[in-house]
């Protein structure tokens, strides 16, 4: 594992343990600068971050580094800024340094269970159910009552920040309480543990550890795609558990069919269970979620402020929560109930995010990345199946999102005739009616196109 990978694993470890706002604020511009004689130097952008990481998060970082790498003696924090952070986020930090540092006060020392890796913060009780997630919620609840029998595996998919991880932990916690042995991990963690077991020539204990559970939960399984040996290992783990009616629970940002380079045999295993999606919460659900999050915060935030947040943040529950936390921090700071006007000011960097105009280059890049093909192939005349559909989707999106004319789209694709483009757009539209999977894929692509 190189430094970059090591840090990615550590970050994916820490992220679920702290709030999104904290995570973004303190970890966004960090990286491992060097690792010498067991001492890891972590680069941070400024003195303020250095102080916070040293005082608040050192324990987490050290623990995770040690679990991941083994030969770690210590951690140093150094101020270094090779990779300038995106302008927007720097502004956010300076503008909100006061309020965000106040937000730290709410940092809860969460007891992540060492055996199971489950986070007790996520329960069924505090999961708000609405039309966008009721099916996923119902399936999760059934599995927590009757593991290994009904839906195996349970596969929950949907976009970022919509509650997949929350449900996974909720199921795990119920089952752990009922005496089952449970293990939760991200697929990155599965991968890195597998890799270190190869290094340490200890694959047997890796196998034993995972197969010796009643319930195995693997979050964000899409990241296993393309890693052949890990997929193979996971396949055997899966079969072993499945044969013995042990419950497997998985999440992903898309359906098994839409994960490129996922081995066919894994795909068919995943599809052999229960597939449920989580969508965007509607307005009522968003308000209910805000109210639920407010419950144990011991602050009063008025309904108009909550409604303002719910109206302005629509596509990601994590961001919804982040906005609420900012407002709470600001009201604590002022020792006062926050007015709607104040709330608008505090949230202006989120709500007035300059919506960067999207352009066709961005669409091409995101479509190519999504389907894991090169932009060159996307733009070529190559009629291979794996290129044709992405190409048609890119054309479709340029038409629907940019209102580009058919001839100008054709031009971007190496001078194709406008009728070819028309045919492509037409075809995608027709397919969309028939194919839920395609709809999901296009939604995910759009989500990325509109993300900054």
Rule CB under 6 A: which residues touch ligand ADP?
122, 126-128, 133, 160-166, 289, 292, 317-318, 321
* Contact of residue 321 among ligand ADP, Mg ion, none (CB under 5-8 Å per partner type): ligand ADP
Task: Tell me the DSSP string of 145-208.
Answer: HSTTTSSSSEEEEESTTSSHHHHHHHHHHHHHHTT--EEEEEHHHHHHHHHHHHHTT-HHHHHH
Nearer to ligand ADP, 211 or 291 (CB): 291
* Contact of residue 96 among ligand ADP, Mg ion, none (CB under 5-8 Å per partner type): none
Q: Does 117 bind Mg ion (CB under 5 A)?
A: no
Conformation bin of residue 335: beta by default, left when phi > 0, alpha when psi is -120 to 50: left
Could you tell me whether strands 274-278 and 215-219 are parallel, antiparallel, or unpaired per DSSP bridges? unpaired
d(CA 217, CA 316): 23
CB of 24 to ligand ADP, least distance (A): 13
Q: Which residue is nearest to Mg ion (CB)?
A: 165
Distance from CA of residue 300 to its chain's centroid? Answer: 30
Nearer to Mg ion, 43 or 136 (CB): 136
Q: Which helix (H) or strand (E) holds 360?
A: helix 360-370
* Contact of residue 128 among ligand ADP, Mg ion, none (CB under 5-8 Å per partner type): ligand ADP
Nearer to Mg ion, 253 or 441 (CB): 253
Give yes or no for a contact between 235 and 269, defined as CB atoms under 8 angstroms apart. Answer: yes
Span interacting with Mg ion, options 47-55, 92-100, 165-173, 398-406, rule CB under 5 A: 165-173
Nearer to ligand ADP, 136 or 368 (CB): 136
CB of 218 to ligand ADP, least distance (A): 13
Site size toward Mg ion (CB under 5 A) is 2
Q: Which one of residues 17, 165, 186, 230 is an interface residue with Mg ion (CB under 5 A)?
A: 165
CB of 392 to Mg ion, least distance (A): 30
Task: Tell me the DSSP string of 295-325.
Answer: HTT-----HHHHHHHHHH--S-HHHHHHHHH
Nearer to Mg ion, 137 or 412 (CB): 137
CB of 98 to ligand ADP, least distance (A): 24
Phi, psi of 74 (to 5 degrees): -165, 175
CB of 165 to Mg ion, least distance (A): 3
Phi, psi of 24 (to 5 degrees): -65, -45
Nearer to ligand ADP, 50 or 169 (CB): 169
* Contact of residue 117 among Mg ion, ligand ADP, none (CB under 5-8 Å per partner type): none
Span interacting with Mg ion, options 20-28, 109-117, 164-172, 242-250, rule CB under 5 A: 164-172
d(CA 163, CA 176): 20
Nearer to Mg ion, 140 or 328 (CB): 140
Cα dihedral 311, 324, 13, 136 sign: negative
Give yes or no for a contact between 398 and 366, defined as CB atoms under 8 angstroms apart. Answer: no
Phi, psi of 228 (to 5 degrees): -60, -50
* Contact of residue 148 among Mg ion, ligand ADP, none (CB under 5-8 Å per partner type): none
Q: Which residue is nearest to ligand ADP (CB)?
A: 163
Measuring CA to CA, which residue among 199, 253, 210, 215 is closest to residue 234? 210
Nearer to Mg ion, 165 or 316 (CB): 165
Structure letter (DSSP) for residue 12: H
CB of 130 to ligand ADP, least distance (A): 7
Nearer to ligand ADP, 221 or 393 (CB): 221
CB of 264 to ligand ADP, least distance (A): 26
In angstroms, what CA-CA distances link 351 with 319, 323, 354, 383?
Answer: 11, 10, 9, 43
* Contact of residue 440 among Mg ion, ligand ADP, none (CB under 5-8 Å per partner type): none
Residues that bind Mg ion (CB under 5 A): 164-165
């Amino acid at each position: 594992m190189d430094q970059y990978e090591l840090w990615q694993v550590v970050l994916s470890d820490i992220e679920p343990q702290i709030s999104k706002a904290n995570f973004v604020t303190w970890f966004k511009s960090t990286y491992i600068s060097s690792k010498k004689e067991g001492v890891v130097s972590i680069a941070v952008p400024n003195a303020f971050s250095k102080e916070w990481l040293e005082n608040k998060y050192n324990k987490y970082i050290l623990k995770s580094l040690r679990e991941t790498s083994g030969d770690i003696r210590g951690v140093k924090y150094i101020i270094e800024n090779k990779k300038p952070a995106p302008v927007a986020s720097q502004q956010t930090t300076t503008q909100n340094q006061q309020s965000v540092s106040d937000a730290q006060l709410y940092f809860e020392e969460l007891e992540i269970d060492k055996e199971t890796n489950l986070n007790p913060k996520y329960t069924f009780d505090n999961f708000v159910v609405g039309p966008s997630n009721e099916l996923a919620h119902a399936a999760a609840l059934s599995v927590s009552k009757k593991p290994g029998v009904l839906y195996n595996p349970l596969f929950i998919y949907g976009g970022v920040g919509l509650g997949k991880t929350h449900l996974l932990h909720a199921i795990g916690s119920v089952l752990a309480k009922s005496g089952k042995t449970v293990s939760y991990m991200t697929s990155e963690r599965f991968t890195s543990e597998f890799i270190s077991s190869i290094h340490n020539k200890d694959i047997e204990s890796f196998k034993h550890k995972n197969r010796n559970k009643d319930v195995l939960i693997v979050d964000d399984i899409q990241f296993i795609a393309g890693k052949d040996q890990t997929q193979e290992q996971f396949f055997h783990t899966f079969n072993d558990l499945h044969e013995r009616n042990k419950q497997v629970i998985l999440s992903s940002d898309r359906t098994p069919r839409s994960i490129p380079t996922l081995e066919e045999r894994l795909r068919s295993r995943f599809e052999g269970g229960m597939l449920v999606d989580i969508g965007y919460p509607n307005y009522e659900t968003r308000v209910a979620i805000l109210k639920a999050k407010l419950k144990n915060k011991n602050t009063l935030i008025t309904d108009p402020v909550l409604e303002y947040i719910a109206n302005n943040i629509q596509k990601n529950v994590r961001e919804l929560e982040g906005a609420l936390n900012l407002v709470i921090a600001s009201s604590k700071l002022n020792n006062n109930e926050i007015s709607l006007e104040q709330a608008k000011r505090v949230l202006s960097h989120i709500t007035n995010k300059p919506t960067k105009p999207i352009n066709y280059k961005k669409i091409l890049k995101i479509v190519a990345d999504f389907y894991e093909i090169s932009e060159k192939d996307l733009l070529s005349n190559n009629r291979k199946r794996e290129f044709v559909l992405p190409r048609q989707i890119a054309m479709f999106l340029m038409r629907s999102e940019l209102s580009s004319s058919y001839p100008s789209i054709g031009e971007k694709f190496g001078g194709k005739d406008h009728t070819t483009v028309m045919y492509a757009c037409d075809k995608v539209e027709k397919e969309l009616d028939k194919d839920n999977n395609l709809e999901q894929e296009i939604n995910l692509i759009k989500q990325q196109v509109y993300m900054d």
